[in-house]
Amino acid sequence: MSVLFIFKRVLLGSILLCSPLVFSLEADNNSRYHGQMLLADHQLLEKDQAINIAKRRNKGKVLSADLVRGKSKSYYKIKMLNDKGRVKTVKINAIKNH
């Protein structure tokens, strides 16, 4: 066996072994990058779920809720009006199971 033949076999084997670990780098309209992972919208909390979490943690009226997407994390930025008339900003992690 030639060295080139062995090299090709080793290279092909390593590509096949690592292929499940490779993430797609093409995003469509329903997905966003998170670090090296590509997260689809179905992996994110719905806005009403995030609002319910914020209401359970804080008393007050919800003024707004916006999804903020970054490279390493996504969260809902929820503005609430408390009983004393002050606006409080609450951040709720948007990635499910975190």
Nearest to 79 by CA among 94, 91, 70: 91
Structure confidence at residue 11 as a pLDDT band (50, 70, 90): low
Structure confidence at residue 43 as a pLDDT band (50, 70, 90): confident
Beta strands, E only, the chain: 31-34, 37-40, 61-69, 74-81, 87-93
C-alpha 64/C-alpha 95 separation (Å) is: 19
Whether pTM > 0.75 for this model: the answer is no
SS3 92: strand
The token duo for 86 is 């002050």
Mean pLDDT over 51-71 rounds to 94
C-alpha 83/C-alpha 98 separation (Å) is: 29
Report yes or no: 81 and 90 within 8 Å, Cβ to Cβ: no
